[in-house]
A and B are shown apart, each in its own frame.
Chain A
Amino acid sequence: MIIKAIKLKKYYESNQSTIKVLKEVNLQVEEGEFIAIVGPSGSGKTTLLNILGLLDNPTSGELYLNGKNTASLSDKEKRKIRLHKIGFIFQNFNLISSLTALENVELPMALAGISPKEQRKRAIELLKAVKLDDKINSKIHELSMGEAQRVAIARAFANNPSIILADEPTAQLDYENKMNIIELLQKLRKKRNTTVIVATHDLSITRNFDKIYELKNGKLINQT
Chain B
Amino acid sequence: MHIFTMCIKNIFRKKVRTFLCITGFSLCIMLIISISSTVNFAMYFIESSNLFYKGKIVVVSKNSYFIQIAPVGSALLEEVGEQIEEVEGVKTVVPAIFVYSISPEKRFLPTNITVGIPCGKWSVLTGPLEPDKGGRWPENNSKEVVIGRYLADWNNLTVGSKIVIRGVNFTVVGILSPGLSSILSYMIIMPLEVAQEVYGYYGIVHMFIVEPMEGLSEEELAERIEEEILNVDALTTEERNQLIEPLLNDFRRWSTAIEIFSFIIGSFFIIVLSLINVYERRREIAIIDCIGASKHQLILIIILEVVFLCLIGGAIGTVLGLLSSFIMLRWLGKISPKILLEHVWVVINLSTLVNVFAILLTMGILLGLILAIGMLRKGAINILRDEI
Contacts and interface: CB of A to CB of B under 8 A. Distances in A.
Interface of A: 50, 55-56, 75-76, 79-84, 86, 88, 90, 92, 94-99, 103, 106-108, 110-111, 116, 119, 155
Contact of B293 (A55, A83, A86, A97): A83
B1 interface: yes
The prevalent SS among residues of A at the interface is: helix
B284 interface: yes
B2 interface: yes
Given A98-B14, A116-B1, A56 B290 contact: no
A80 B1 contact: no
A103 B293 CA distance: 15
Contact of B3 (A84, A90, A111): A111
A111 B297 contact: yes
Contacts of A106: 1
Given A99-B6, A106-B1, A79 B292 contact: yes
Nearest to A87: B291
Contact of B290 (A76, A81, A88, A92): A88
A88 B286 CA distance: 13
Given A98-B10, A110-B2, A82 B291 contact: yes
B356 interface: no
A98 B293 contact: no
B59 interface: no
Contacts of A86: 292
A155 B288 CA distance: 12
Interface of B: 1-3, 6, 9-10, 13-14, 283-284, 287-288, 290-295, 297, 379-381, 384, 388
Contact of A111 (B283, B292, B380): B292
Given A92-B388, A110-B3, A79 B295 contact: yes
B287 A55 contact: no
A94 B283 CA distance: 8
A6 to B, nearest CB: 22
Nearest to B384: A94
A116 B1 CA distance: 5
Given A98-B284, A99-B9, A110-B6, A83 B291 contact: yes
A107 B285 CA distance: 12
Given A98-B13, A110-B6, A111-B288, A119 B1 contact: yes
A101 to B, nearest CB: 12
B98 to A, nearest CB: 67
A167 to B, nearest CB: 11
Nearest to A81: B292
A116 B2 contact: yes
14 contacts: A55-B379, A55-B381, A76-B295, A80-B292, A82-B291, A84-B292, A96-B287, A98-B13, A103-B6, A107-B291, A110-B3, A111-B292, A116-B1, A119-B1
B291 A111 contact: yes
B1 A107 contact: yes
Contacts of B379: 55-56
B145 to A, nearest CB: 67
A82 B290 contact: yes
B14 A108 contact: no
Nearest to B301: A111
Given A92-B388, A94-B384, A116-B1, 19 more contacts: A55-B290, A55-B381, A56-B381, A80-B292, A80-B294, A81-B292, A82-B291, A82-B292, A83-B291, A83-B292, A83-B293, A94-B283, A96-B287, A99-B6, A99-B9, A103-B6, A107-B288, A108-B291, A110-B1
The 3 tightest CB contacts between A and B, nearest first, are A83-B292, A82-B292, A98-B13
A95 B292 CA distance: 14
A98 B9 contact: yes
Contacts of B388: 92
Nearest to A91: B388
Nearest to B287: A94
Contacts of B295: 75-76, 79
Contacts of A50: 381
Given A111-B297, A119-B1, A96 B381 contact: no
A94 B290 contact: yes
Counting chain A CB atoms within 10 Å of each CB, the highest count among B9, B14, B287, B380 belongs to B287
Nearest to A110: B1
A98 to B, nearest CB: 4
A98 B18 CA distance: 12
A100 to B, nearest CB: 9
Contacts of B10: 96, 98-99
A85 B381 CA distance: 18
Contacts of A80: 292, 294
A22 B293 CA distance: 27
Nearest to A83: B292
